[in-house]
Every structure is written in C-alpha cells, then in structure tokens.
Structure 1
C-alpha cells in the first residue's frame, strides 16, 4: 500500500466526516439512546452517505489508498458496509473493492467484511464469519457456508481465527452492559 498523500484529500475529508457521524449515530442506536425523530434522521443520513459514495464510485471507481488515503478508504468501506438498505449497491461496492484489493490499493480484510455483509443482505450464507447478530442472550454468527473450513478462509483474507474474533466482539459489546439495555438484534462485525 502507498503512504503518499491522497490524490483527493477533499473527498477523504468528506468520507471521514460522514463515516464518523454515522458511527456516533450507530453507537447511540445500539444503546437505545435515540428517539423516533433521531432514528429517522439517521436513516436519512445513511441514504445520503450511500448516494455520496455511489457518486464517488461512478467517478473514480473504489476510493482506495491512492485516491483518499488509508483513513478515507476505511471511511468509504464503513459507508458501504452500513448501506444495508441497498444490497445491490453493497454487492457492486464489494466488486469494486475486490478489484482495488487486487491492485494493491485496499485492504483484503475490508473486502472480506463487505463481501460477507453483501451476502447476508442478499439472503446467502457468509464466507468469512465477519457478520454477527448481537442479542440480549449473547452473540451468534450469521448463517455461514462450510463452517468446518472457516478458519482456513479467514487466514486467506488475513483475519484472525474465529474464536479470537468472537472473544473480541464479546469484550467490545458485553462488558458493563445490563441485559435489559441490550438490543434484541443488531448486525455487527467480527474482526
């Protein structure tokens, strides 16, 4: 990957600002800290973020490290990952991200997460075990293809073994949370 200054720092700044605002909103949503108006505003912002990223994809292809730098590329990935309301867009973004990975301009782990999310949102089993459901009674993997070879596939995309990833998610989402505060179902990522 390149460490040179991004070609479009303005796009990088906008992607990062949008992804950060979305992350703050999602964290509040998970903690049930939003009223109905705020939930609607968040949905509107997610649609606007997807539209913005769609425009970038149309003009530049995947916004990888060369175009927007590592932080901008991560922000673009986060926006695509959370575009659950548009599964066709997620699949297209995953395709473009895969091309960027092959060109050495994006992280393969980002592609694996987005690929899994697009599969789940299209009604298919995930490949790499990156998508989880958080429930009041614990964490479970979304449907998974060929679980017996999961860790081999995870190694191929530079992800840690599933046991390590699940423990990381458990620590991130369950300490200091009372069961009654936990959401019934929230889609999450496994490292």
Structure 2
C-alpha cells in the first residue's frame, strides 16, 4: 500500500475528526457515562457521520483508501462504516467498495473482514471471520459464525489471529475500558 501524500487531505481531516468524535462517545457509553439524551445525540451524530461517508463514496465511486485520504483517514472511514449499525444496506454497500479497495491494495484486508462480518450480523446472518462479539451474561461472546470448524483458517487467510486470542484480547480491553484505565478510544470487536 502506498504512503504518498493523499489526494484529498481535506476529506482526510473531515473523516478523522468524525471518527475521533464517535470513538469518544462510544468510550463514554462503555463506561456508562452517558444519559439517554446523550445516547440519542450520539446515534444522531453517527448517522450524520455515515451520511458524510455516503456522500464521499458517491462522489468518488470508490472507498476512501490510502491513495485518496491516507491510512489514518481510511481507518476513520472504516470505523464510521463499521459503526453505522442502523444502516445495514449502507454497510453492505460500503463493504463492497472496501473489498475493491483491498483488491487494489488501497486498504487493509482486515478492515474489510470486520466490515463484512458486521454487515452480515446486522442483516441477521452468521459472520464469516469471527470479528464480531457481544456482551453476554458471562462476558464477551462471539456472535454466531458460519462453519465454526473452519473459522481459524478463514481468520488466518485475512491476517487475523485465532478466535480465542481475539476473544481474550477483547475481554481485557473491555475490562480496562470499564475500569477507566484505557484512553478514550473505541473498542472495536477484534479491531486490527
């Protein structure tokens, strides 16, 4: 992947700002620091961020990858799409464009695997790469996976560690976030 100056630094700044604001809200939510009004405002802000990303996708007819916006902003775009849970059709469309960017060596395959899984889960399907978790009665649990016996092979094919390692890492991250020991960053299910 290229590390040259991005073609659209203006879009890069916009995406990074939106993703940072969203991450701060999610961190507060994980720490139970938001009341119902702030939760609603956060959902509205996430929807607005998705609208900005949707405009960028439409204007450029491609994923805002490393060449267009640089690696940090490409990661920000991924985070925005990943957290657009109220818009499963948008997530699916974004995953298609992200897959194309991966094939063009313009985005990390791990980002696509996470977004692909999130879109599957949000559409009621089993995930493929085991990147999505939920907080169950006994702690962090893996969302349903298709063909679980081949999960670690699929994870390895996209550069992800075994599912048990990711599950342990997520458990530790959640515990430290709730204890306030971590910086206010978002906990993404198995984020690369």
Alpha carbons 1:16, 1:75 under 8 Å: kept = yes
CA–CA separation in structure 1 for the residues paired with 2:152 and 2:162: 5
Cα distance 1:137–1:68, how it changes in 2: closer, same or farther (>3 A)? same
Match of 2:101 in 1: 100
CA RMSD of aligned residues (A): 1.4
Match of 1:52 in 2: 52
CA–CA separation in structure 2 for the residues paired with 1:137 and 1:96: 36
Deviation at 1:120, TM superposition (A): 0.1
Deviation at 1:43, TM superposition (A): 1.1
Helix, strand or coil at the partner of 2:135: strand
Structure 1 runs (4+) greater than 3 angstroms displaced: 175-178
Alpha carbons 1:81, 1:117 under 8 Å: kept = yes
| Aligned pairs (5 A) from 1:1-191 | 1-60=1-60, 61-135=62-136, 137-175=138-176, 177=178, 188-191=188-191
Q: TM-score, normalised by structure 2?
A: 0.92
Unpaired stretches in structure 1, ≥5 consecutive residues: 179-186
Deviation at 1:37, TM superposition (A): 1.6
Asked which structure has the greater RCO (Cα within 8 Å, sep 6+), the reply is: 2
Match of 2:183 in 1: none
Helix, strand or coil at the partner of 1:73: helix
Deviation at 1:65, TM superposition (A): 0.2
Deviation at 1:78, TM superposition (A): 0.1
After superposing the two structures, state which structure 1 stretch, 116-125 or 155-164, moved more.
Answer: 155-164
After superposing the two structures, state which structure 1 stretch, 168-177 or 33-42, moved more.
Answer: 168-177
After superposing the two structures, state which structure 1 stretch, 115-124 or 27-36, moved more.
Answer: 27-36
Q: TM-score, normalised by structure 1?
A: 0.92
Deviation at 1:171, TM superposition (A): 1.1
Helix, strand or coil at the partner of 1:189: coil
Alpha carbons 1:134, 1:188 under 8 Å: kept = no
CA–CA separation in structure 1 for the residues paired with 2:116 and 2:83: 12
User: How many residue pairs end up in the alignment?
Assistant: 183
